[in-house]
Amino acid sequence: MPETKPSMPNPPKGNRKGLPPRDREAYLANFRLHVYTLLWMGYERLDRRRLAGLDEPSITGELVRSMREAMAEDSAPDWVLNYSLRDDPPIDSPGRHGRVRPRVDIEFERVQRGTRPCYHWEAKRLRDGSSVGTYLGHQGLGCYLSGLYARGHDEAGMLGYVEVEDERAWATRIEASLLRSPKQFCLLEDGAWSRVSVVSQIGHSYRTGHRRGQDGKPITVYHALLRFY
């Protein structure tokens, strides 16, 4: 299990958006740390060779199952009790109801009195010449830029399942595509692709900043590239 930094104190009850900027930033950082730690707790338990070549929903389903198993172990940190995970859950979207509601790949929910803040992750396989377009397209990153996913959220995540070459090669391709079309991807001036470290075990993690076309509000997207071969 990865070592993690001490958890920040829980924020006051109610909507975190009412927190002062400094407290809100600390709250998001703690939420992000826990989400990344849960990702690693599940990922390290997987038999990645067995999953190689499966479709994205199958890989994601196994990753979520593995995270839940890790959370249930006696050795899991106490803070895991504050979270629940959903695989492919329907999410609310104006004008779309029932079975036609959009479904995000993974939803992390922080269970607390009052609001239940969520962290969405969309996953895509990185395996051939069309993969970067799919990763950044309207069914990938574009779901956040349009406001379809993570509506009203400050942050969200993208997972890249690396099936050929390595994480560095795919990071270079994704960055190049973003740089070629910054307006298309609504990149903020300070939102260029940049490497970050949230948990050391997920070594290929990146951050981008965008302005959503739906409401003009900014969103920060964290990208985690995980090898599956």
**Model pTM score:** 0.88
Domain extent, residue 182, equals: 16-227
pLDDT top residue among 47 and 94: 47
Domain total of the chain:
1
Amino acid letter, 142: G
Query: Which candidate, 133, 129, 120, 54, places its Cα nearest to that of 87?
Result: 120
Alpha-carbon dihedral 94, 98, 103, 108, rounded to 10 degrees: 90
In a domain, 106, yes or no: yes
The stretch 150-156 carries a mean pLDDT of 92
Which pLDDT belongs to residue 112?
Answer: 74
3-state secondary structure (DSSP) of residue 212:
coil
The CA–CA distances, whole Å, from 218 to 24, 56, 150, 208 equal 15, 28, 11, 11
CATH code at 212?
3.40.91
In a domain, 5, yes or no: no
Give the ranges where the chain is alpha helix by DSSP (H).
21-43, 48-51, 56-72, 131-136, 142-145, 167-180
Vertex 228: Cα angle to 34 and 204 (nearest 5):
50
In a domain, 208, yes or no: yes
What are the DSSP calls for 91-132, one per residue?
A: --BTTB-GGGS-B-SEEEEE--SS---EEEEEEEEE-STTHH
Q: What is the DSSP letter of 81?
A: G
CB neighbours of 193 closer than 8 A, spacing ≥ 6? 171, 174, 175, 178, 179, 206, 207, 208
Query: Which candidate, 160, 145, 152, places its Cα nearest to that of 206?
Result: 160
In a domain, 139, yes or no: yes
Amino acid letter, 163: E
Which pLDDT belongs to residue 101?
Answer: 64
Considering only 147-156, 167-176, 178-187, 194-203, which range has the smallest mean pLDDT?
A: 147-156
In a domain, 146, yes or no: yes
The pair of structure tokens assigned to 30 is 């703690």
Question: pLDDT of 21-68, one tens digit each?
Answer: 778 889 999 999 999 999 999 999 999 989 988 999 999 999 999 999
